[in-house]
Amino acid sequence: MIPDNAPTGNRMSQAIAGVRQWLAGRLATPVEALPLQRASLAQLARSDARLPALVAACPVAMRYLHLLGPLDWDHFPERDPHRPWPGTKPAPRAPYVAAYLVKLDQEKRTMTGLRRYLVEHPALVWVLGFPLAASETSPWGFDVERSVPSRKQLGRVLRKLPNPCLQFLLTSMVTALQQELPADLNFGDAVSLDTKHILAWVRENNPKDYVPERHNPDKQPKGDRDCRLGCKRKRNRGAAEGNGGEGGDPAPAAAAKPASAPPALLASSTPASDPKPASKADVGEFYWGYASGVVATKVEDWGEFVLAEFTQTFDKGDATYFFPLMEQVEQRLGRRPRYGALDMAYDAHYVYDYFHQAGGFAAVPLAERGNTGRQFDAAGLPLCAAGLAMPLKGKFTCNSTHVQHQRGRYVCPLLVPKKMSELCPVNDLHWDKGGCVVTMPTSIGARIRYQLDRESDAYKLIYKQRTADERVNSQALELGIERPKLRNGTAITNQNTLTYVLINLRGLHRVRAHKAELARQEQPITGR
């Protein structure tokens, strides 16, 4: 027992000695304070022998050392320490990123919750690599409260981090999965693409709050200056809504104008609690927020993995995600996927072109717009209602969509290049007005859109890849991607990227566990 009249310094020293004695009893080994200088998280993960006893005895620290260790921390793009202006050396950002992954894994919705969790686990703080504030009065050898960044600093770094730094980690995960999975599985050969809506943390998304003109796109919410108003449709279809025409761009679902929506829709456009699934929506629901586009691949018996992700404000159409996402996929795989499974929002000529050029095809349902029964001759010319090949009268460049492309104007063969004496065999209504005219992209993708056999076994097999995105979205939903408690576009973008990094990390560990189980099963059974 420590005497009450003992000097304060002596009492503190004795208290620390008591804590260390208790720890030594638990560990059955002499306990020393943790060193302030240590190797990187990746180096620690590669050599358990270098771990101090206090760290090795902490299940939380060891769990995250194991979970986060496979990431390429050694090459994480830190800020240049040799800056031309005076000042202190910039603090490393890798520990913050690792802490954000812990936040997601622990389902901590706020930075306050994350900080509290870190303070409660000093060994984890040591493992993550935060600069430590030395303390002779702490049994750990450092002051945990002073070593863990403040709530404001944790939030500030997430807002200021360049997203390419986090995309680097996602790339490293794709590379690690490529190396772990058997080569004959053709990892990433077939992919699926989908978007996930994200609700901004603003009053306008809460119907219990009275907000005048909550769905006026010109009334920017004060709670988040970056979010935008968009519409989440029940399903991606392009009949009356579409403006794409024959193989053009699908109409962006998110670009719908709230003013044109029916009064019944505006009255219940935002759910009172959690958002309703899109399948339960009447027509569409308006939200202020963002959307995350994801490309995933499914490997039978091994799981689903994220190949690319891209976040935009909610006013952007689904089709705008295609090329940025596929560019990421190509960079990470080193090749173009051959097969793609996408919903009706991507029923556009350039999608079919993309996968056709890779030697495969895109499994996309045909949107209900234009002539769904278009036929072509052997030369690729569209056929009119009478079955006659329509000649190409002229070409022009279309700039009205986000993808510049060439379109052709195909006309009646009985009137061009010269008028025939023969009348229209089917007496088409357009005959008296100059004959039938078809305007469509000249690319092969525009023809594939109509000629694709959507009842074939090959189509149905590829379209099953859609479940990869569905399962990835389900995991992201559990990690809180739909309702982030953040008020900044960059912070939300960064947290989205880290969400998919964590999903891939978990997937990598499942792959390694599965390989170990297969190896164990292949070992011969020996008798005693």
Residues 180 and 309 in one domain: yes
Residues 281 and 179 in one domain: yes
| Per-residue pLDDT at 6 | 47
Residues 335 and 299 in one domain: yes
* Position 380, amino acid: G
Residues 446 and 483 in one domain: no
The residue out of 435, 451, 467 marking a domain boundary is 451
Distances in whole angstroms, Cα of residue 31 to Cα of each of 18, 35, 44? 11, 12, 19
In a domain, 385, yes or no: no
Distances in whole angstroms, Cα of residue 413 to Cα of each of 120, 240, 428, 438? 79, 30, 13, 12
Alpha-carbon distance of 115 to 340, in angstroms, equals 42
Helix (H) or strand (E) holding 174: helix 163-180
Distances in whole angstroms, Cα of residue 95 to Cα of each of 36, 149, 436, 475, 486? 14, 10, 65, 24, 20
Residues 137 and 50 in one domain: yes
Q: What is the pLDDT of residues 228-252, one digit of tens each?
A: 999 876 555 433 333 344 555 544 4
Residues 216 and 275 in one domain: yes
Tokens for 252, please give them: 């962006």
* Position 33, amino acid: A
Alpha-carbon distance of 191 to 335, in angstroms, equals 13
| Boundaries of domain holding 243 | 165-366+459-512
DSSP-derived letter for residue 441 is: E
Q: Which residues of 112-142 are buried (b: 16+ CB within 10 A; e: fewer)?
A: eebbebbeebbbbbbbbbbebeebeebbbbb
Residues 298 and 410 in one domain: no
Alpha-carbon distance of 106 to 94, in angstroms, equals 18
Report yes or no: 264 and 283 within 8 Å, Cβ to Cβ. no
Model pTM score = 0.82
In a domain, 230, yes or no: yes
Report yes or no: 368 and 362 within 8 Å, Cβ to Cβ. no
Q: Which residues in the chain show pLDDT less than 50?
A: 1-2, 4, 6, 8-9, 11-12, 14-16, 22, 24, 27-30, 237-245, 250-283, 528
In a domain, 374, yes or no: no
Residues 170 and 157 in one domain: no
Alpha-carbon distance of 305 to 503, in angstroms, equals 8
Domain count, the chain: 3
| Per-residue pLDDT at 263 | 36
| Per-residue pLDDT at 93 | 94
In a domain, 475, yes or no: yes
Residues 353 and 440 in one domain: no
- The residue among 99, 110, 37 whose CA lies nearest residue 73 is 99
Residues 443 and 463 in one domain: no
| Per-residue pLDDT at 33 | 73
Alpha-carbon distance of 499 to 501, in angstroms, equals 5
Residues 297 and 439 in one domain: no
Helix (H, G, I), strand (E, B) or coil at 363: strand
Spacing of C-alpha 44 from chain mean position: 29
Residues 263 and 412 in one domain: no
